[in-house]
Structure 1
């Protein structure tokens, strides 16, 4: 049920885009992200940090989108975000004592440092690929096609990439006794 709830802002964005266009959809996304934070707050009696940070980013970048009012800005914004993620992950190989992925709170898995480094590099490459793919889709297809790919394609791609880690990481997953 939580997965459906977590995906609700994307579905609402797509529905609003289909009915009213990109700017209404952007507003719906911002509002729905904060509603998601509120739902988790009342449901779990705690601030879900990931959702809260995502809502703040959506408000900042979405607000900028509404202010600039340029469809090209909207389409290229994910490329910049993906590139920043990729660069941050790569930079963490040279800055600090742990790579960025190993610094994130880990509840389900503990990995040796060399494995963390490979996972971190894989995600850096994945986000670089997403940046290039978004650039291609933004330039080669219509805004409507880009919205579909951004909403469903990148989400599916990220989920598939996450699942692709299982064969390599399954030996590190906790086993039931």
Structure 2
């Protein structure tokens, strides 16, 4: 359930974009009628309407995500705050400037912020974020915790570069597909691979 909660803004972005592609005139009308105040010039083209509408829905979904947790007095973890701030900045810029480049950069900036957080904790503060999150559940040698941290740093850096390559060398439709696959398939697959690697090290906590 947590995975679905964390990823539903991305899923909504994908579904809205796909719907907007098939109903570009309706998407354009919705943007012009309800969101003209936040779109530069007040109107948009048929080509940009789908991604602008998808961006609006993502901004709303992310806001609802944070609002729900705050209303329920639940902790909003740092990664979710980072994601929220980045989508607000880059999504807002996408709408105002009517430029899909901003929203295409957003996943890369998010990945690199995650990589930076892991690296800063590991090298500057001598703290391991993976160990902090999972240390109470499994017991591993310190060298293995470090390897996990390095693996995530490299993973996020590579995903950032791959996102840029797909975003600016393929169609927006292909990029939207990749954006969803990255969240619902590539990242979970990376976690599974790590779990298989860790199996031989795992011990029950004393």
Unaligned stretches of 5+ residues in structure 2: 21-26, 28-49
SS at match of 1:109: coil
- Please tell me whether residue 109 in structure 1 is matched to residue 141 in structure 2: no
Match of 1:137 among 138, 142, 166: 166
Match of 2:73 among 20, 25, 46: 46
Equivalent residues in 2 for 1:1-177 (5 A)? 1-18=1-18, 19=20, 20=27, 21-40=50-69, 45-50=72-77, 53=81, 54-104=83-133, 106-170=135-199, 171-172=201-202, 174=204
Conserved in 1, the CA contact under 8 Å of 2:94 and 2:101? no
The superposition leaves residues 136-176 of structure 1 with CA deviations (integer Å, 9 ceiling, x where unpaired) of 1112210111011112234311110011111222342648x
CA positional deviation for 1:104: 4.3
Q: Give distance in 1, aligned partners of 2:64 and 2:186.
A: 26
CA positional deviation for 1:47: 1.9
Normalising by structure 1, we get a TM-score of 0.79
Conserved in 1, the CA contact under 8 Å of 2:91 and 2:102? no
Q: Give distance in 2, aligned partners of 1:68 and 1:108.
A: 46
Q: Give distance in 2, aligned partners of 1:106 and 1:65.
A: 40
The number of equivalent residue pairs is 173
The superposition leaves residues 16-35 of structure 1 with CA deviations (integer Å, 9 ceiling, x where unpaired) of 11223111111111211232
What is the Cα-based RMSD across aligned positions, in Å? 2.7
The superposition leaves residues 75-119 of structure 1 with CA deviations (integer Å, 9 ceiling, x where unpaired) of 123223323332443343321122343344755334332111100
